[in-house]
């Protein structure tokens, strides 16, 4: 059964309220891809939900742990290395494992399926904040 082995621990990067850095490893055991270990100091923006009022109020800030796993699997040198489709399915799986209701899970899943393909494998897991903002 899929589960998060560790809790999410992160800090804001300096004064940037959209970039976060992991303070501890985030470890997730996936039924789809096995163990995923997101390293300390990994850079993330959590779930990139558009800031439109209604959309953000429904789906913003709803899946931070799951989004970190998804961001990590989207990096060019993640372990395990997975396809675009598999990374998205792991995101959906992680939301289900955390008990997110279907009305949260599926719109977020379809959002990443539709809107994130141009970001797949564009960054490395060791990219720093300036690299992150440029992409």
The whole-number pLDDT of residue 135 equals 45
Please, are residues 105 and 93 in contact by the beta-carbon 8 Å criterion?
Answer: no
The whole-number pLDDT of residue 52 equals 43
Q: Which residue did the predictor score with more confidence, 28 or 58?
A: 28
Average pLDDT over residues 19-27: 94
Helices and strands (DSSP H and E) totals, the chain: 5, 6
pTM here? 0.86
Phi-psi region of 118 (alpha: psi -120 to 50; beta: other; left: phi over 0): alpha
* pLDDT above 50: residue 119: yes
* pLDDT above 90: residue 114: no
Q: H/E element holding 87?
A: helix 84-97
């Amino acid at each position: 059964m899929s589960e998060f082995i560790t809790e999410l621990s992160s800090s804001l990067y300096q004064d940037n309220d959209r970039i976060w850095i992991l303070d501890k490893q985030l470890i997730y055991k996936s039924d789809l891809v096995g163990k995923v270990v997101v390293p300390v100091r990994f850079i993330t923006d959590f779930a990139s939900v558009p800031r439109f009022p209604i959309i953000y109020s429904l789906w913003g800030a709803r899946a931070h742990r799951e989004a970190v796993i998804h961001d990590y699997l989207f990096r060019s040198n993640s372990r395990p290395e997975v396809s675009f489709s598999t990374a998205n399915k792991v995101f959906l799986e992680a939301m289900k494992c955390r008990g997110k209701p279907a009305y949260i899970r599926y719109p977020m899943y379809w959002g990443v399926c539709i809107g994130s393909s141009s970001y797949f494998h564009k960054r490395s897991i060791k990219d720093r904040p300036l690299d992150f903002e440029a992409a």
